[in-house]
């Protein structure tokens, strides 16, 4: 039975590789008539098979080289069988991890080959060693693309036959045979270039299939047994895998060190970590080092702030206020949870929860009753009941994950049911807020080393982003599907997730906030504040794949601050990519077609050969243009989200740390904190005047003398006023 | 046996997949353009010997795969490179945006004073341009490198790019050589016979000069 499956390639697994697949379609068998133009049947089939494979095995996805394997298969097989052929090659014949994101398996096989050369062709091995020459520059391709483009076509097909029959062991045998065959040429040369060059050329002209087979199956005997080779392969794989993993972890750590402390260990103890509104009229902003946490309190109306006499035993990582009890709660790096009275700023109690408290959430259950959740770096969630400002006695631990929980967000669904979403590594865990039962969990990226930065509930869905990235994701809180990917750095809607690019960017998002009126505020690592509007509209059906259209003319509203910040002007990339494609895939139930394992299907080979020769004549008939590709699109999404940039302003040289908002009367006040304590204008209050957002910096006062300390202009102004007053006094 | 060249420079082409690295290289090494190359997987190379100020310079140019997952393999070649061409496609904003990431890769894996050059390829497709020439220049200035817009298709600026890069490397090499030999040609025969040959796969990340052995 043939199943016909229609599905949108909107799926993340496919869209992620869509672009790379597309780039390689015409670069696979350009000289074959079935693959020469973007309208060719073979090219369409190639695309289908590669995309379906991404769905079938998202952990591998698409790796360059597979295009050649599928291309060759499609010369002999129907697309469906070519798909299964690729499955068998990648999952059965090659080592695991062969094509995945570290190409670890492929690299391990190169080590294995080197070892076999040493064993079977010691003189060649010594010669290469003396030149410090690594043959894998050439031989890697032999393995990754199974000799495509390296050998004459006929010779390559013969190796394919054996490969499909016997597995990857045969590639070692033929590689050694080829090296053996051309050994003299290689030994004659004494520098890297000539060796590479002569190897490439002589292999390319290996028409003597029988001679090659003779070497491979007779002269090289005794060749290591299959078992021995597999053992070797596995050993090298294990070593490679370990070093790859540790390298990758190391790199991530480096990134984090580099960006999280901004190369600035000196200022680590001054970094602003968290902030909260307290009692409607105040903001508490926390900074501090490993062994000390400090608090600054700002008055929202006066726009003045000063450092308090509050010192905690370690860095304050999270802060929550419960106004009903005049209570401020602080979660520390040391794992202590401290309660403060918000009026007299006295410490009420200090509770040790054993592990660092990375984030907190308080939920009002009923009058005089709150539930507090603390997220810990050991992957535990603590649940605490609070009915007064007294030290809590009801404390429960829930094991959530083996990675730190970095964010807790309250999410209320369409039926007013409350959930808490917990972010840990690249996974979101959803718990029912009432029952504390785990509803579900889902990963937001393919890379398990990713960390979610934070989550924000909005009425359109839940916003989240990954640490180090500038891409915002919008998740549906009913279906847990990603509805929108938007790159804030590029001001560009994405339909493709970047292919495992995990480097930190300076323009990464560091915090964000959603306001009621469909505004989203973003803070970035390089100190920019961006305000976007998000809009929902009904999507009309489109039937072109790469449909680009420019956004409505951008309206830039300049905001004035006392400080001369620069307004960015590089917004000339305002186009939106829309990609929708329809795939028709035939699939049958059998797991393995017997056809391609049958090496006697010579008839089909004949048929193909005539086609291959035919092509050379028609080669120049159709010169494809590079970027456009037409594919049918199926559109089953009705709602679309559109994000428009309203404002972009540089507010600091350091990362923006927190953004929060509060309704005061009819007005919304937004507070941003950026950089480190001790810099000018770290805390800004934003309010809306005639649709424009205006900011006013908080002036830091000396807590003892009550004279302005920072910024300098406030201090100067103060003394100027003082002088004027004195002068006027004198005058009278 | 007399060498067929005075200097050997190793160059490297990097940039996103599809920006035209292979076409640029093919144009330079073979003076041909073919819109239908197969995709480069892993690493590939071409050679061309040029003449500069009477010196024969052999350029060994490595072409790399652009896909992210090949980076572990391709970065191994950064270390030996004396010049790197960073290629983007002027019709692709994304490829231009990636240049910063590629630079970061260079900083991480290549010799500290490797010569770099920014190449905006496909400048024949002005109607589809997404990256203005000025932005390319601005970025190049920011990182202290030269930049050029090229077209492999129309053979625009291709020779110029490689020759400029080779000239800069040559000047740098000769300067180092002279610095390293006070009194110049007094000790080691005549100065004009001095030849540099980069050592295969050897060298260190930190020093440009360590990559060269003096013959
Ligand atoms: N119009 C135009 N197209 C080019 C130029 N250079 C490359 N291309 C096209 O870009 C595609 C990708 O080039 P390729 O060299 O394979 O890219 P690579 O992945 O960077 O090696 C090719 O199919 C060419 O058709 C150029 O200078 N002008
Ligand atoms: Mg290429």
Name all contacts of B145-149 with Cβ < 8 Å and 24+ positions apart.
Answer: B145/B86, B145/B115, B145/B116, B145/B117, B145/B118, B146/B117, B146/B118, B147/B117, B147/B118, B147/B119, B147/B120, B148/B117, B148/B118, B148/B119, B148/B120, B149/B90, B149/B119, B149/B120, B149/B121, B149/B123
Q: Do A429 and A340 belong together in one domain?
A: yes
Note the pLDDT of residue A181. Answer: 94
pLDDT at B31: 86
Q: Looking at the structure, do residues A627 and A501 belong to the same domain, yes or no?
A: no
Contact A28 B35 (CB under 8 A): no
Asked if B17 has any chain A CB less than 8 Å from its own CB, the reply is: yes
Residue contact A30–B36, C-beta within 8 A: yes
Question: Using CB atoms within 10 A of its CB, is residue A732 exposed (0-12), middle (13-18) or buried (19+)?
Answer: exposed
Whether A133 sits inside 8 A of B201 (CB atoms) is yes
- In angstroms, what is the span from residue A192 Cα to ligand 2's centroid? 22
Which of A41, A66, A93 terminates a domain? The answer is A93
Pocket flag, ligand 1, residue B18 (CB < 6 Å):
yes
Check whether residue A464 and residue A613 sit in a common domain. Answer: no
- A382/A379 Cα distance (integer angstroms): 10
| CATH for A171 | 1.10.472.80
CB-CB under 8 Å, B36 with A36: yes
Position A282 in a domain = yes
Please check whether residues A396 and A534 belong to one and the same domain.
yes
Ligand 1 centroid – CA A394 distance (Å): 66
Smallest CA–CA separation between A30 and chain B, in Å?
6
- Which of A587, A615, A636 delimits the end of a domain? A636
Q: Among the three residues A39, A74, A93, which one is the final residue of a domain in this structure?
A: A93
**Sign of the alpha-carbon dihedral angle for B97, B101, B106, B112:** positive
ipTM above 0.95, yes or no: no
Across the interface, whether the CB atoms of B42 and A490 are under 8 A apart is answered no
CA distances from B156 to A247, B21, B128, B160, B175 (A): 41, 14, 17, 8, 30
Given a contact cutoff of 8 angstroms between Cβ atoms, the answer to whether A411 and A462 are in contact is yes
Q: Find residue B13's DSSP bridge partners.
A: B63, B85
DSSP β-ladder status, A639-650 and A656-664: unpaired
Backbone angles phi, psi at A421, to 5 degrees: -105, 125
Element (H, E) at A319: strand A316-322
Q: Which of the listed residues B19, B20, B95, B129 should we mutate to test ligand 1's pocket, taking the one with most ligand atoms within 8 A of CB?
A: B20
Give the pLDDT confidence score for residue A637 in this predicted structure: 45
Dihedral sign (CA A130, A132, A134, A138): negative
The H-or-E segment that residue A365 falls in is strand A357-366
Residue B97 pLDDT: 87
Q: Does residue A421 sit in the same domain as residue A522? A: yes
Name the closest ligand to CA A30. 1
State in Å: Cα A17 to ligand 1 middle. Answer: 19
Q: Copy the structure tokens of residue A531.
A: 């305000």
CA distance B130 to chain A (A): 7
For B64, the closest chain A residue by CA position comes to A137
Percent helix, strand and coil across chain B, each rounded to 5? Answer: 35, 25, 40
> Alpha carbon of A165 to those of A158, A168, A169, A228: distances in Å?
11, 9, 10, 18
Residue B42's SS3 state is coil
Residue A31 structural domain: 8-93
A619 within ligand 1 shell (Cβ under 6 A): no
Helix pair angle (A66-76, A79-88), 10° resolution: 130
Q: What's the rounded Cα separation, in Å, for the pair B136 and A416?
A: 52
**Spans of chain B below 50 pLDDT:** 1, 184-215
Residues in chain A predicted with pLDDT less than 50, given as ranges, are: 1-10, 261-263, 499-502, 541-637
Q: Which of A144, A490, A573 sits opposite B42 (nearest CB)?
A: A144
Identify whether residues A229 and A378 lie together within a single domain. no
DSSP secondary structure code for residue A676 in this structure: B
Nearest CA in chain A to B200: A132
Whether A387 is in a domain gets the answer yes
Q: Are residues A134 and A220 in the same domain?
A: yes
Looking at CA atoms only, how far is residue B36 from chain A in angstroms? 6
pLDDT score recorded for residue A561: 27
A1 domain-assigned: no
What number does the ligand 1 atom closest to the CA of B156 have? 27
Distance between start and end Cα atoms, chain A: 105
CB distance A244 to B72 below 8 Å: yes
The number of the ligand nearest the C-alpha atom of B21 reads 1
User: DSSP E strands: which ranges in A505-545?
Assistant: 509-515, 519-524, 528-538
Q: Please give the helix or strand (H or E) that residue A369 lies within, else none.
A: strand A369-376
pLDDT at A623: 32
Cα B205 to middle of ligand 1, angstroms: 31
Residue A471 lies in a domain: yes
pLDDT for A282 equals: 93
Q: Is B69 on the interface with A (CB under 8 A)?
A: yes
* Structural tokens at position B2: 């007399």
Q: What is the pLDDT, as a whole number, of residue A497?
A: 53
Kindly report the backbone phi and psi dihedral angles of residue A93, in degrees, each rounded to the nearest multiple of 5, phi listed first: -85, -35
User: CB neighbours (10 Å) of residue A116?
Assistant: 22
- B18 CA from centroid of ligand 1 (Å): 6
| Mean pLDDT computed over every residue of chain A | 79
* pTM score of the predicted model: 0.56
| CA dist A580 → A40, A66, A80, A571 (Å) | 20, 23, 22, 26
Tell me the nearest-neighbour CA distance from A137 into chain B, angstroms. 6
State whether A52 and A151 are in the same domain: no
Structure tokens that stand for A543 in this block: 């039937």
In a mutational test of the A interface, the residue from B16, B34, B72, B92 whose CB has the highest number of chain A CBs within 10 Å is B72
Q: Is A265 inside any structural domain?
A: no
Q: Give the residue among A673, A675, A701, A671 at the shortest CA–CA distance from A686.
A: A671
Sort out which chain A residues have CB atoms less than 8 A from B8's CB and list them. 193
Q: Quick one: A293 and A356 in the same domain?
A: yes
Pick the closest to residue A65 from B17, B189, B179, B60 (CA basis): B17
Q: Which domains does chain B have, with CATH numbers?
A: 7-176 (3.40.50.300)
In angstroms, the CA A519 to CA A487 distance is 16
Of the candidates A23, A100, A132, the beta carbon closest to that of B201 is on A132
Residue of A21, A67, A191, A193 to mutate when probing chain B, most B C-beta within 10 A: A193
Among A21, A626, A629, which residue has the most ligand 1 atoms within 8 Å of its CB, making it the best to mutate?
A: A626
Residues A365 and A503 in one domain: yes
* Contact status, residue A342 vs residue A352, Cβ threshold 8 Å: no
B22 lines ligand 1 (CB under 6 A): yes
Contact A133 B200 (CB under 8 A): yes
Residue A718 lies in a domain: no
Residue A171 lies in a domain: yes
Do residues A33 and A153 both lie within one domain? no
| Number of structural domains found in chain A | 4
Residue A78: which CATH number?
A: 1.10.8.270
Q: Is residue A306 part of a domain?
A: yes
Do A515 and A412 lie in one domain? The reply is yes
């Amino acid at each position: 039975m043939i199943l016909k499956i229609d599905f949108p390639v909107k799926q993340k697994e496919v869209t992620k590789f869509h672009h790379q697949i597309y780039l390689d379609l015409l670069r696979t068998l350009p000289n074959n008539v079935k693959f020469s133009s973007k309208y060719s049947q073979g090219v369409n089939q190639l695309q289908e098979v590669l995309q379906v494979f991404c769905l079938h095995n998202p952990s591998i996805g698409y790796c360059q080289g597979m295009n050649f394997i599928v291309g060759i298969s499609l010369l002999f097989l129907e697309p469906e069988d070519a798909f299964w052929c690729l499955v068998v090659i990648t999952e059965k014949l090659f080592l695991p991890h062969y094509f995945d994101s570290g190409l670890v398996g492929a690299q391990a096989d190169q080590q294995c080959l080197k070892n076999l050369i040493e064993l079977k062709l010691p003189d060649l091995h010594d010669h290469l060693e003396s030149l410090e020459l690594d043959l894998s520059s050439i031989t890697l391709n032999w393995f990754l693309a199974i000799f495509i483009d390296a050998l004459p076509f006929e010779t390559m097909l013969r190796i394919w036959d054996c490969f499909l029959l016997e597995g990857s062991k045969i590639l070692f045998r033929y590689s050694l045979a080829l090296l053996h065959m051309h050994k003299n040429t290689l030994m004659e040369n004494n520098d890297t270039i000539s060796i590479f060059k002569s190897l490439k050329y002589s292999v390319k002209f290996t028409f003597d299939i029988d001679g090659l087979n003779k070497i491979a199956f007779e002269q090289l005997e005794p060749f290591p047994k299959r078992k021995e080779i597999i053992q070797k392969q596995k050993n090298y794989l294990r070593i490679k895998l370990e070093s790859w993993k540790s390298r990758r972890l190391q790199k991530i750590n480096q990134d984090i060190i580099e960006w999280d402390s901004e190369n600035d260990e000196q200022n680590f103890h001054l970094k602003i970590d968290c902030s909260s509104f307290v009692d409607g009229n105040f903001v508490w902003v926390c900074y501090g080092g490993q062994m000390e946490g400090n608090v600054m309190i700002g008055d929202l109306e006066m726009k003045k702030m000063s450092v308090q006499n509050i010192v905690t035993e370690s860095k304050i990582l999270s802060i929550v206020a419960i106004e009903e009890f005049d209570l401020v709660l602080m979660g520390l790096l040391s794992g202590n949870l401290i309660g403060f009275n918000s009026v007299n700023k006295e410490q009420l109690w200090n509770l040790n929860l054993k592990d660092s408290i990375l984030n907190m959430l308080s939920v009002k259950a009923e009058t005089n009753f709150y539930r507090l959740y603390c997220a810990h770096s050991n992957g535990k969630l603590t649940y605490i009941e609070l009915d007064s400002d007294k030290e809590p006695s009801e404390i429960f631990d829930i094991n959530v994950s083996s990675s730190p929980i970095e964010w807790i967000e309250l999410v209320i669904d369409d039926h007013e049911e409350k959930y808490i979403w917990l972010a840990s590594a690249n996974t979101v865990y959803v718990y029912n807020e009432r029952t504390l039962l785990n509803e579900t969990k889902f990963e937001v990226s393919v890379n398990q080393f990713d960390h979610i930065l934070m989550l924000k509930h909005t009425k359109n869905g839940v916003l989240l982003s990954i640490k180090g990235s500038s891409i915002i994701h919008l998740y549906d809180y009913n279906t847990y599907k990603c509805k929108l990917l938007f790159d804030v750095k590029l001001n560009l809607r994405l339909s493709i997730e970047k292919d495992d690019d995990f480097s930190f960017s300076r323009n990464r998002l560091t915090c964000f906030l959603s306001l009621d009126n469909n505004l989203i505020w973003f803070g970035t690592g390089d100190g920019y504040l961006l305000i976007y509007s998000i809009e929902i509209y009904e999507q009309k059906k489109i039937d072109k794949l790469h449909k680009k259209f420019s956004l409505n003319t951008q309206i830039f509203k300049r905001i004035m601050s006392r400080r001369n910040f620069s307004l960015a002007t590089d917004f000339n990339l305002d186009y939106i990519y829309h990609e929708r494609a329809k795939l028709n895939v035939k699939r049958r139930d059998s797991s393995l077609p017997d056809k391609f394992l049958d090496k006697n299907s010579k008839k089909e080979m004949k048929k193909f050969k005539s086609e291959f020769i035919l092509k050379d004549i028609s080669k120049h008939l159709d010169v494809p243009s590079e970027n456009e590709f037409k594919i049918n699109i199926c559109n089953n999404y009705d709602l679309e989200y559109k994000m428009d940039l309203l404002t972009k302003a540089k507010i600091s040289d350091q990362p923006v740390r927190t953004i929060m908002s509060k309704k005061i009367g009819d007005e919304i006040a937004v507070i941003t904190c950026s950089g480190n304590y001790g810099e000018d204008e770290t805390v800004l209050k934003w309010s809306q005047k005639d649709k424009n957002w205006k900011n006013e910096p908080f002036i830091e006062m000396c807590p003892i003398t009550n004279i302005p300390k920072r910024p300098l202009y406030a201090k100067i102004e103060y003394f100027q006023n003082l002088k004027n007053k004195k002068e006027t006094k004198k005058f009278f | 046996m007399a060498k067929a060249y005075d200097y050997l420079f190793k160059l490297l082409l990097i940039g996103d997949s599809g920006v035209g690295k292979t076409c640029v290289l093919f144009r330079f090494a073979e003076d041909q353009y073919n819109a239908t190359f197969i995709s480069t997987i892993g690493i590939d190379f071409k050679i061309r010997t040029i003449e500069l100020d009477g010196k024969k310079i052999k350029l060994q140019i490595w072409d790399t795969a652009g896909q992210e997952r090949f980076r572990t393999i391709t970065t191994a070649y950064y270390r030996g490179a004396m010049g790197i061409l960073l290629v983007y496609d002027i019709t692709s904003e994304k490829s231009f945006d990636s240049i910063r990431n590629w630079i970061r890769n260079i900083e991480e894996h290549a010799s500290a004073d490797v010569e770099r050059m920014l190449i905006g390829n496909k400048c024949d497709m002005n109607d589809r341009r997404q990256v203005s020439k000025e932005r390319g220049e601005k970025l190049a200035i920011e990182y202290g490198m030269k930049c050029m817009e090229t077209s492999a298709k129309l053979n625009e600026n291709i020779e110029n790019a490689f020759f400029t890069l080779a000239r800069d490397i040559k000047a740098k090499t000769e300067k180092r050589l002279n610095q390293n030999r006070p009194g110049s040609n007094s000790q080691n025969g005549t100065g004009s016979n001095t030849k540099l040959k980069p050592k295969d796969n050897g060298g260190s990340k930190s020093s440009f000069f360590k990559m060269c052995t003096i013959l």
